[in-house]
Structure 1
Amino acid sequence: MTHVFVTHIRPIIEYASTVWNTGYIEDVRRLEAVQRLWTRHIKGLEHKTYEERLKVLDLYSIKGRLLRADLIKTWKIFHGLSPIKPLDLWDMAPAGRTRGNTLKIKFQRRQLDSTKRYFTDRIVKDWNALPNSTVTMNSLAEFKSSLAGILGDRLYEYLA
């Protein structure tokens, strides 16, 4: 059941998530409900909580996967694996700061709620919180592995 979900259902749910994900709670809840229902039907896991089922199956919540996808997209932009250049999207924070990573993005204050939800704005806080050793990793596989360790339980958080 897990293999079927990961292979056939999850790609549909996550397709182009950096574009459509605005972080509206109801949207994420509806997507999470699909995974919640699917995992509930796996034999032997019917009476476990959703978070326990995710950990047993080694799956992240939809909310966690959307955050992870945003951070991976940002890493790809900074490391030239995307046709988009970082300076096309963000202003970089001044160099010489003592905290944060060397690829720190300058935080822009926004007036409209809708612009705060754009990929370019919603990712800044989480990206800037990553350690320098993670954002400067040379390979995507290393970055993903480091990211899993840093985000930890945030990858399993969900909206009930």
Structure 2
Amino acid sequence: MVKLERVQRAATRMIAGLRGCCYTERLHATGLFPESYRRVRGDIICVRRILRGDMGPELMEYFPLREQTRTRGHGLTLLKLSSVGLPLRFRLSRRVTNLWNSLPADVVEEVNDKMLKRKLDSVLRTMWYADLS
């Protein structure tokens, strides 16, 4: 992924009107995203498949759903587990929980995979560009 990021940096430098801009401005102008964005997107899609049971029932125990009676948010709110053994950055269940819980209900409860990816991209895009401002 580091090599892909380097190629993307070099390719955005080759665009004539964007040579003097910083990397994040070049990405915004071209509609591209860094490797960290792609990793987060893949993690969210992976968690969705795990919660649906597509990757086997044994993985579902690492993503327990929160028992809540609140009317806010969506019904698939994850409970954050304590980490034992591995550092936090390597645990998918710890890395993704806050972002998953902050997603809107229409994204999380989407049945169709293509529509999920489209809605997820629009939500993550607004989050990403809000962080840049």
Structure 2 unpaired stretches of 5+: none
Equivalent residue pairs, number: 130
- Give the TM-score, by structure 2 length: 0.77
The offset of 1:35, in angstroms, is 2.5
- Give the TM-score, by structure 1 length: 0.66
Equivalent runs, 1:32-71 vs 2, <5 Å: 32-71=5-44
Q: Which amino acid aligns with 1:84?
A: G
The offset of 1:47, in angstroms, is 2.2
The offset of 1:116, in angstroms, is 5.2
Q: Which amino acid aligns with 1:119?
A: L
Change (3 A) 1:153 1:31: farther
Identity %: 28
* Conserved 8 A contact 2:51-2:63: no
Q: C-alpha separation between the residues in 2 aligned to 1:60 and 1:127?
A: 19
Change (3 A) 1:84 1:34: farther
Q: C-alpha separation between the residues in 2 aligned to 1:50 and 1:116?
A: 25
Q: C-alpha separation between the residues in 1 aligned to 2:19 and 2:47?
A: 37
Structure 1 unpaired stretches of 5+: 1-12, 14-27
The RMSD of aligned alpha carbons is 2.7
Q: 2:114 aligns with which of 135, 141, 149?
A: 141
- Structure number with greater CO (CA < 8 Å, separation at least 6) is 1
